[in-house]
């Protein structure tokens, strides 16, 4: 019999409904794995064992009396960026080390209403600013595939937890690749929906025109299940989109025949690891063998996506993070001389180095004399990049390429050079700038480490994208590979 933790989220659901195990048994089993893994992976910031077991008992009662909801009893974790009523929400920062929100994020509430059980809050780069999980105040997360390597970031704890079979699925957020990049580096499936598809209410803001919540799962089928429960219009988020939510699970059966897939030429050249390129080519060949048509597409301005992002995102971050003033919530400096000293020292002590760098960058590009040259110019280049995607989608249904330039890198390897770290998101940032749905699926291995294939769809094309990923996962088994020692 397959061990409970080996099952996908969908498999866990079937096991619960078939009476093979109870939600309490499943929850207790995974909590024990989380506890055992914590000294090695550090994937969690907070573990909510008592609340999870109580919720599991309630789920068992519902399953027994026939009132089970879509995600009844399914064990998940939330990235510690989502506010959870009564449960500490740190955002990976000293600033919020003691912060206990008095309300739930909408995504958290929706998943709870669907019956999901939260086992804890996962580690992350501070305020989601990082690509390696090394900027967390709560310490590095290790990659389950090889300890000592980064799991990616910023949703590194969520990715490591799903990869190591500690939870059935996890939430994450993606501002420039923070779901897809760690999913690729940890060998799992990560999905960032269209901008505005999932409410940002209660999701601590980093860059509001780019931030989007999504899923980290083992399979596309699980992503469809989870995304359906999280999505929809929220009156509390004025950027949440008033468009019907498709039945993503029902959409999975769409065949690959007739699908036109664009391979992004700019992503397949210089900078991409040669063995990684082989894995991506094999994946596109699989799509072609299953009846899809491959087309070469060009995104002419995509080379400017990283510098565009590192103007737009810090500008928005410098504005968003001004709310942390040491007064209403968050870290407060001792014995301030005056109000100005309270602000500056509370923020100086509460924020880590990368967060301060981004606030300073944002302040610089928005300041008098530099606004036009940097911020306004970045917004214009953003439109050029978005238009490149729009042109590509006139001819193809999806565009694909690698998710990252290399597989997982060593902890400490890139921390001294912010630019090198920023370039890690070179293939993922474009979808955020254009607001498009995108996902990463496992597509092979490079030196024993997972590689990811990225798929990008037109706005609100999640159903078609998930179907393509699901069909790919029907004839490949990369997504079933577990890191050694965690199966």
Partner 1 sequence: MSIGSDDIEKLAVLARLSFEGDELGDITDKLAAIVAFVDQLGEADTASVTPMAHPLDQVQRLRADAPDADIDRARLQACSDATEDGLYLVPRVIE
Q: Is 231 a catalytic residue?
A: no
User: 202-238 as b/e, with b when 16 or more CB fall inside 10 Å?
Assistant: bbbbbbbbbbbbbbbbbbbbbbbbbbbbbbbebeebe
Binding track, positions 236-275, relative to partner 1; x by CB under 8 A: --xx-xx---------------------------------
Task: For partner 1, give the closer residue by CB, 65 or 238.
Answer: 238
Tokens of 212: 């989007």
Distance CA 229, CA 249 (A): 11
Distance CA 84, CA 78 (A): 9
Residue 319 Cβ, how far from partner 1 at the closest point, in Å? 11
Select from 226, 202, 197, 227 the least CA-distant residue to 212.
197
The yes or no reply on residue 415 touching partner 1 (CB under 8 A) is no
The yes or no reply on residue 390 touching partner 1 (CB under 8 A) is no
The yes or no reply on residue 308 touching partner 1 (CB under 8 A) is yes
Q: Show contacts with partner 1 in window 192-221 (CB under 8 A).
A: 194-196, 209-210
Task: For partner 1, give the closer residue by CB, 133 or 175.
Answer: 175
Out of 39, 66, 102, 244, name the contact with partner 1 by CB under 8 A: 102
Distance CA 111, CA 428 (A): 26
Residue 351 Cβ, how far from partner 1 at the closest point, in Å? 7
Residue 62: other Cβ atoms inside 10 A = 16
Residue 340 Cβ, how far from partner 1 at the closest point, in Å? 8
Select from 393, 381, 139 the least CA-distant residue to 262.
393
Q: Is 79 a catalytic residue?
A: yes
The yes or no reply on residue 345 touching partner 1 (CB under 8 A) is yes
Distance CA 280, CA 427 (A): 13
Residues contacting residue 312 through CB under 8 Å, at least 6 positions apart? 207, 209, 210, 375, 378, 379, 382, 433
Task: For partner 1, give the closer residue by CB, 386 or 480.
Answer: 386
The yes or no reply on residue 381 touching partner 1 (CB under 8 A) is yes
β-pairing verdict for 75-79 and 169-173: parallel
The yes or no reply on residue 339 touching partner 1 (CB under 8 A) is yes
Task: For partner 1, give the closer residue by CB, 359 or 449.
Answer: 359
Residue 21 Cβ, how far from partner 1 at the closest point, in Å? 37
Q: Which residue of the set 90, 131, 132, 178 is catalytic?
A: 178
Out of 2, 18, 19, 328, name the contact with partner 1 by CB under 8 A: 328
The yes or no reply on residue 132 touching partner 1 (CB under 8 A) is no
Task: For partner 1, give the closer residue by CB, 40 or 356.
Answer: 356
β-pairing verdict for 213-217 and 449-456: unpaired
Q: Show contacts with partner 1 in window 434-473 (CB under 8 A).
A: 434-436, 459
Point out the residues that are catalytic: 79, 154, 178
């Amino acid at each position: 019999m397959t061990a409970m933790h080996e099952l996908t989220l969908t498999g866990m659901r079937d096991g619960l409904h078939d009476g093979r195990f109870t939600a309490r048994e499943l929850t207790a089993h995974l909590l024990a794995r989380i506890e055992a893994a914590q000294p090695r992976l550090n994937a969690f910031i907070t573990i909510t064992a008592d609340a999870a077991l109580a919720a599991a008992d309630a789920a068992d009662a519902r399953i027994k009396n026939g009132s089970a909801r879509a995600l009844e009893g399914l064990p998940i974790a939330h990235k510690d960026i989502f506010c959870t009523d009564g449960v500490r929400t740190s955002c990976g920062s000293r600033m919020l080390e003691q912060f206990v929100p008095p309300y739930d994020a909408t995504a958290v509430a929706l998943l709870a209403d669907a019956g999901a059980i939260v086992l804890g809050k996962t580690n992350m780069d501070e305020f989601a600013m990082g690509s390696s999980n090394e900027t967390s105040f709560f310490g590095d997360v290790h990659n389950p595939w090889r300890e000592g390597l980064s799991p990616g970031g910023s949703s590194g704890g969520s990715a490591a937890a799903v990869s190591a079979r500690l939870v059935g699925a996890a939430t994450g957020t993606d501002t420039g690749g923070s779901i897809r990049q760690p999913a690729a580096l940890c060998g799992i499936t990560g999905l960032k929906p269209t901008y505005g598809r999932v409410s940002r209410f209660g999701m601590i803001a980093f860059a509001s025109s780019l931030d989007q919540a999504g899923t980290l799962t083992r399979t596309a089928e699980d992503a469809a299940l989870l995304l359906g429960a999280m999505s929809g219009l929220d009156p509390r988020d004025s950027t949440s989109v008033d468009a019907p939510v498709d039945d993503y699970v029902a959409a999975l059966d769409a065949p690959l025949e007739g699908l036109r897939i664009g391979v992004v030429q700019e992503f397949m050249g210089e900078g991409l690891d040669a063995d990684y390129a082989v894995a991506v080519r094999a994946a596109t060949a699989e799509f072609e063998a299953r009846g899809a048509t491959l087309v070469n597409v060009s995104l002419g301005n995509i080379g400017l996506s990283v510098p565009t992002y590192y103007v737009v995102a810090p500008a928005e971050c410098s504005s968003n993070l001004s709310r942390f003033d040491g007064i209403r919530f968050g870290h407060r400096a001792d014995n301030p001389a005056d109000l100005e000293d309270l602000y500056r020292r509370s923020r100086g002590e509460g924020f880590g180095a990368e967060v301060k760098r981004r606030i300073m960058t944002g302040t610089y590009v928005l300041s008098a004399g530099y606004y036009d040259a940097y911020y306004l110019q970045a917004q214009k280049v953003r439109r050029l990049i978005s238009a490149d995607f729009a042109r590509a989608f006139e001819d193809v249904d999806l565009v694909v390429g690698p998710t990252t330039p290399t597989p997982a890198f060593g902890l400490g390897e890139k921390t001294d050079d912010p630019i090198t770290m920023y370039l890690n998101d070179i293939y993922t940032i474009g979808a955020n700038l254009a607001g498009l749905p995108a996902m990463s699926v496992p597509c092979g291995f490079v030196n024993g480490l997972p590689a990811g294939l990225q798929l990008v769809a037109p706005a609100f094309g999640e159903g078609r994208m998930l179907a393509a990923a699901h069909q790919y996962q029907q004839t490949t088994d990369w997504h079933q590979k577990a890191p050694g020692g965690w199966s």
